[in-house]
Amino acid sequence: MTIKVIATQAFDNQRPGTSGLRKKVVEFQQPHYLENFVQATFNAIGDCNGKLLVVGGDGRYYNRQAVQIIVRMAAANGFGKVMIGQGAILSTPAASCVIRKYNACGGIVLSASHNPGGPDEDFGIKFNGANGGPAPEKVTEEIFANTTSITEYRTCESADIDLDAIGSARVLDTDVEIIDSVTDYADLMESIFDFDKMRSLLSNRRFRMCFDAMHAVTGPYAVEILEKRLGAAEGTVMNAVPSEDFGGGHPDPNLVHAHELVERMNGVEPMAFGAASDGDGDRNMVLGSGFYINPCDSLALLLANAHLIPGYKGGVNGVARSMPTGRAVDRVAAALDIPCYETPTGWKFFGNLMDAGKITLCGEESFGTGSDHVREKDGLWAVLFWLNIIAERNQPARTIVRDHWTQYGRDYFTRHDFEGVDAARAAEMIDALRAKLPSLAGQTFGELTVESADDYHYVDPVDGSESAKQGIRIYTQDGGRIVMRLSGTGTSGATLRVYFDRYQPDPALLGQDPQKALASLIEAAHAMACIEQYTGRVRPDVIT
């Protein structure tokens, strides 16, 4: 086996987005495409000699082939050891856990999250640093700069390694270890939650629950934790076997895509609790019996009940939410007298705050919730948190949420996505709105008057780094807010995301349909941004 240095040419479209580089599989299959990005990442790490690298993915099409390519390149770049999840599987939070536990210099996670998989669908790659979290912008920008100037990459000729057998192999001077994908993560969960209490809840056959793994990566994790360690009935985890195309579905845990689960939560004999996770296991959706729990409320509730969980009994230092996320958690933080930070969209912004000990819990409206136990959002962790709360309080999820609203008031929230719109027109729309910002205050749209408007600019409180143009925010005089931004995770066209939220303290008005409660804001957003004129759309494709 010898090292081979392969001449290559730069591709001009390898800038990582909100969460790594995502493209169609065919794009990744072009000669040198994946290799260039991997070498650019290794170059950004600097000296790889003797270091430990963790590698795994969500099991989607091209995952296994990509792992074989990365192993050869890691060996040729001098890594001391590569740790890989069995079957090339590691959920995003499990990868974060393994990186931290074994002091790796970082890890490569192969995933396009909730995007569909298969030969004609999406693939993705992201680099997580030694803290187990997504690389911060200065690292992703360095990787990107390397992709634009790359002229060669290093690899070697070696047979494919057996990804399915636990054990060790050697490629050049590099140890390659296949580890159980689930154990380290499941042990971590057991160290945070009260498994005894949860076991007695789940062994009560009157408490029927269901977890939809959506044919994606959390299947094996959920079976081990919920069914084996916590004794939930066999079959509690549905769609439990990861498949390369997620069973032809969209592994996105929302009311539209997790419809099988939604059906079980409604109807004649609804289950007491339901949950789903996404392609790579970092997102969660939680449902009570016939009752949807918005992720913004969920984050607020986890904070309000954290004192019931063994892993958080010591207290919560602070909390953070992404800017477009509804402000329910802010109220709980204020009541607890702990800091509440606002960050741009994307998990990478939470890492600094966690590493500096400023926050313990954080979340995003996009079905992402997490804590400092790892440096990624964590779908199954959120589900276990909820189960632990239900076991402690011995109340249905619906009652827990209703009580919360009665105590704090309700922050109505909804997000409207306009998918596959023309990228140039969408950018023009945002630019036009940005140009209007200075004059918006005082203007009236329907029954609403704009109080203030800006383009969100973030200054990281830990290292002072700045991120500009992170979304347009429009505040109305009645306490409402509209946020507009373009998605940074799509692979074709553009997705316009419009977020709406408004606080309602009146106990008589807590049970409304969010679309109705927010209707005046929705109308105002269409009017001020001229959404139809630029996108040709009157209604969104997805509402969450």
Residue ranges that bind ligand G1P, judged by CB under 6 A: 18-19, 113, 322, 345-347, 364, 366, 368, 487-489, 497
Here the tokens at position 156 are: 């070697």
Catalytic site includes residue 113: yes
Would strands 472-476 and 466-467 be described as parallel, antiparallel, or unpaired?
unpaired
Cβ 273 to ligand G1P, closest distance in Å?
24
Q: With CB cut-offs between 5 and 8 Å by kind, which of ligand G1P, Zn ion, none does residue 227 bind?
A: none
d(CA 328, CA 458): 21
> 63 or 495: whose CB is closer to ligand G1P?
495
End-to-end CA distance of the chain: give it in Å, rounded.
52
List Cα–Cα distances, 389 to 190, 262, 310, 355, in angstroms. Answer: 15, 22, 11, 26
d(CA 293, CA 262): 12
116: left (phi over 0), alpha (psi -120 to 50) or beta: beta
d(CA 41, CA 44): 5
Q: With CB cut-offs between 5 and 8 Å by kind, which of ligand G1P, Zn ion, none does residue 330 bind?
A: none
> 137 or 376: whose CB is closer to Zn ion?
376
> 366 or 535: whose CB is closer to ligand G1P?
366
d(CA 422, CA 493): 6
Q: With CB cut-offs between 5 and 8 Å by kind, which of Zn ion, ligand G1P, none does residue 118 bind?
A: none
Cβ 18 to Zn ion, closest distance in Å?
11
Here the tokens at position 253 are: 């845990």
Catalytic residue among 19, 113, 298, 366: 113
Q: At what angle do helices 183-192 and 92-101 cross, to 10 degrees?
A: 90
> 87 or 368: whose CB is closer to ligand G1P?
368
Cβ 109 to ligand G1P, closest distance in Å?
12
> 291 or 347: whose CB is closer to ligand G1P?
347
Q: With CB cut-offs between 5 and 8 Å by kind, which of ligand G1P, Zn ion, none does residue 280 bind?
A: Zn ion
**By CB under 5 A, residue 280 contacts Zn ion:** yes
Cβ 346 to ligand G1P, closest distance in Å?
5
Q: With CB cut-offs between 5 and 8 Å by kind, which of ligand G1P, Zn ion, none does residue 481 bind?
A: none
> 227 or 372: whose CB is closer to ligand G1P?
372
> 36 or 345: whose CB is closer to ligand G1P?
345
DSSP-H helix ranges across 237-378? 259-265, 295-305, 328-336, 348-355
Cβ 503 to Zn ion, closest distance in Å?
29
Cβ 366 to ligand G1P, closest distance in Å?
4
**Footprint (CB under 5 A) of Zn ion, residues 100-159:** 113
> 278 or 501: whose CB is closer to Zn ion?
278
Q: With CB cut-offs between 5 and 8 Å by kind, which of Zn ion, ligand G1P, none does residue 19 bind?
A: ligand G1P
**By CB under 5 A, residue 282 contacts Zn ion:** yes
Residues 6+ apart with CB under 8 A from 340: 318, 319, 320, 321, 329, 330, 333, 334
> 278 or 364: whose CB is closer to Zn ion?
278
DSSP strand E in 422-508: where? 444-445, 448-455, 458-459, 466-467, 472-476, 481-486, 494-504
Cβ 99 to ligand G1P, closest distance in Å?
18
Q: Name the one residue in this structure whose structure tokens are 């409402």.
A: 480
Q: With CB cut-offs between 5 and 8 Å by kind, which of ligand G1P, Zn ion, none does residue 487 bind?
A: ligand G1P
Q: With the C-alpha atoms ordered 132, 137, 138, 139, is the resulting torsion angle positive or negative? A: positive
Cβ 506 to ligand G1P, closest distance in Å?
30
Here the tokens at position 433 are: 């709105």
Q: With CB cut-offs between 5 and 8 Å by kind, which of Zn ion, ligand G1P, none does residue 147 bind?
A: none
Q: Name the one residue in this structure whose structure tokens are 């941004």.
A: 529
Q: With CB cut-offs between 5 and 8 Å by kind, which of ligand G1P, Zn ion, none does residue 250 bind?
A: none
Cβ 523 to ligand G1P, closest distance in Å?
23
The binder of Zn ion chosen from 121, 224, 227, 278 (CB under 5 A): 278
Residue span binding Zn ion (CB under 5 A) among the ranges 281-289, 348-356, 396-404, 519-527: 281-289
d(CA 69, CA 299): 39
Here the tokens at position 237 are: 């985890």
* Number of other CB atoms surrounding residue 235 within 10 Å: 10
Length of the chain as a residue count: 544
SS (H, E, C) 163-228: CCCCEEEEECCEEEEEECCCHHHHHHHHHHCCHHHHHHHHHCCCCCEEEECCCCCHHHHHHHHHHH
- The contact set with Zn ion (CB under 5 A) reads 113, 278, 280, 282-283
Residues identified as active-site = 113
